[in-house]
Structure formats: structure tokens, C-alpha cells
Amino acid sequence: MQSFILFLLSFFITVIYSYSHSPRVEVCNIPSIYASSDGEADDSPAIASAFSRCAKDATIVFSEGVNYNVFRPISAKLDNVAIHVKGNIHLPQNVTLVQSLVKSKKGSTWFQFSGPQIDYIGIADVNQGWINSYGQPWYDANAAVKGTGLPNRPHLMSFTTTDGSVQYFKSKKPIGWNVSLKGNNITVSNPVIDAVSNSSSFPFNTDAFGVSGSNIRIFNMSVFNGDDAVAIGPGAHNVFVQGGTIGYQTHGLSIGSLKGSPNSPVNVTNIHFDNITVKDSIYAARFKSWVGGYGLAKNITWSNIRVENVSMPIFVTQTYYNQATSIAQLDGNSSVQMEDFTWTNFTGTINSLNPGDGSCVSEPCWYNTGLADLKHTEAVIIECSSERSCKNFALKGIDMRPQGMDPASVICMKAMAASNPKLGFECKNGTFAAS
């Protein structure tokens, strides 16, 4: 409890100093030739020029009601700049063009913003402020080859700042990964991610937020995608995610995947997910570290999580691997250590009637691998790699029911009672019964 209080105190101190910055005296309103060219012309040169002219103490505006074609990646080093996205942005619809730019290293990330005190400010209007990536043809082309995502897909945005914010970020049909958050003291509020496929094709790797910075807050997100809604990566510290709904075929609120090495172990501390609804997902609360990983994840909490039709609500694995890789190729003699993990107040329904999602392209499915006793009635799955790798786990207020009205069950491996005196149930496979 003491560590949690200190964790919250650090957030309050950080927020107090979040928004003091110098006046933003310059204003660059970006012109567009979208309408005059019937949506054919590229506005990237005008956009790049605006970011160059207004790179410091400035405001850059994508005007409301205006469309912009961004056919080339934008990279900008900024200092105390507000980016107002009031209009709609369009990426190229030509798949091979985008692939060629990514392959040539000119477009691996479409928008790259870096520097102190950057604010990305969208708009509350549901019809404005969207980044349209036209990912559907990518989803369908991948399904035709039964892959896990076409090669040479771009990440949408890298946002690296100190004392910055992302407000009303809206992404429609992303090709792949959405936003990478790096830096210190960043607040994200009211983001919307729509990666819902219009066909049976799965939108692989459409993660909403990858977090590897410190003192980061994400509030009131609306995420419907085909991978992690939030993925906490190496080097993340003091991250608070609260409020909102995630769904479609999302993979939930995730720590990892974490790997590390003997010379560069991972370190993730003080992460808290709270008051979130998870719908139609494989996972709600997930930890994943690679076979042969090195490092430490400590003081991690999921609280007040509501699940609707979720296949594996609470899931821990220290033996994660890519379904395109043979597990025999990996070193299984080490793992990322886990300490002080808490799951509290989980309620709702487990998807026991039609578990899984469209991401399975292997046999057995990647999400079923290594779980010999899987019944798909599990409220909790904990797979520790050794008797010493999981310490101080605590579960309380776990009230989730399979749709078929069978009792909720549990799979638990090597979460030893001596190391986990407040685990909250007996670590063995069978019916889940709180102790």
C-alpha cells in the first residue's frame, strides 16, 4: 500500500507542473489543395513547410472542415508547439507505394514528433480530426496469404516529448501500430481508435498505444482494434491508465511483451490500469514475457475491470513467443521476474461459447499453446516459468462467469504459496475458488 500511495503522489506532483510553458507566439495555418484537386494532390510539402516554420513556441493548425492528403511521412523536431488537428488527414490508399516507402526506410513511421512540450490537440467533433490510414485493403491482402500482417507496414505515429499531451487523437482503419509514447510526463485524453475490419480479415498489430516512457497517463480511451489497447514496454515507469472501453478483437491491457538480455535487462515499475470495460477480447489483463527473458516487472495493478465476452480475462505467461518462430529455437533457462502484482475487482462474462479471435494462423492457435488443460472457462491463467519467478501475487474480488454457466476455472503453474501468501486461491488447475 505504501508503494501505491507514493506512486499516486508522484502523479499529482507531476501534474501540477505539467502545463507551464512559454507563449506560443507563431501560428501556422496549413493550406490544403485537397478540394481543388478532387482529393488527388499531396499536401505533404505544405505540411512539412509549416512544421519547419513553426518549430518553436508556435501553434500549427489543420483547419476544421478541411481535408489533407499526407502522401509522404512527416518528421519534425519541435519545441513548445501545439498541433491542432481539426480537419481530416488522409494517408495514401496505394498499398505498394506505402510498402516501397517503408522498405526504403523513408516511411517506417508516418508521423514522427519529438522535442519538449508538444501538445497534439484533436477535436471533440466525431466527424473531424481523424487520421484515415485506409487499412482495410491491407487486412484483406494479408488474409489472402494467411499471414500475420503484410510486410513493410508503417507505424502511424511516434510521439516523444516531455511535459506534453495528446488530446482527442482519432485513428480510423490504421494499417498497423498507432502511437508510440516515449519521454516523460505525457497526458493522453479521450483517444479513439477504430480498427474494426469490414470483412472477416483480421487487423493484425493494430496496437493503440505502446508505452515506454515515464509518468504517462491515459484517460477515457475508446479502442476497438486487433492487438493490445495498451502495451507497456521496456523502460516504462509510473503509468496510469483509467477509464473507457476497449473491444472488437482487442488483446487488452498488456504488460509486454518483455524480453531483455543479460547485458540489457528490462525494468518496468509502477503500472496501474483502473476502471476499464473490456469487450469481445481474448484478454483483459495480460502479462507476457519471452522465453529466455531477463529483467524485472514490479508493482503492477489492474483494478475495477469489467469484462464482456472475454476469452481469458486474467492471463500471465513467462513463456511467450511469436507463432512464426519455433519455441525450440529460444533459450528457456531464464525469465523476466515478476513482483508485487495485483488483480482486484474483476466482474463479467467469460467467452466460453466461441473463444478466441481471427488472429489464429497456426495449429494449435498461439493463444492456446502450452495450456494442456484449457477448458475456455478460465477466469485466471497464471503460467510462471519457474518456482522463483513470480512473487507477491494477489487476487481479490474476482467474480467472472463462463457464458455456459459452468463454474469458472483456473490454470496455475508454479505460483508457489511461499512466495505468494496473498494469492487468493490455491495454485492448481481446476475450479476457481477464492480462498
Angle between helix 136-145 and 95-103 (nearest 10): 80
Alpha-helix runs per DSSP H in 209-359: none
First to last CA, the chain: 21
String of b and e for 292-316 (b: at least 16 CB within 10 Å)?
Answer: bbbbebbbbbbbbbbbbbbbbbbbb
Residue 13, SS3 per DSSP: helix
56 closest CA partner among 76, 33, 31, 86: 76
The tally of CA atoms less than 13 A away on the side-chain side of residue 172 is 13
CA 156 to chain centre: 13
Burial bucket for residue 324 (CB in 10 Å: 0-12, 13-18, 19+): exposed
List 90, 155, 237, 251, catalytic entry: 251
Active-site residue, 251 included = yes
The per-type count for the chain, helices as H runs and strands as E runs, is 4, 27
Q: Please answer whether residues 346 and 312 qualify as being in contact, where contact means their C-beta atoms are separated by less than 8 angstroms.
A: no
d(CA 400, CA 382): 16
Q: Please answer whether residues 153 and 107 qualify as being in contact, where contact means their C-beta atoms are separated by less than 8 angstroms.
A: no
Residue 388, SS3 per DSSP: coil
Locate 278 and state its grid cell.
473490456
The tally of CA atoms less than 13 A away on the side-chain side of residue 171 is 31
d(CA 157, CA 422): 41
List 227, 228, 280, 357, catalytic entry: 227
Instruction: Report the catalytic residues.
Output: 227, 251
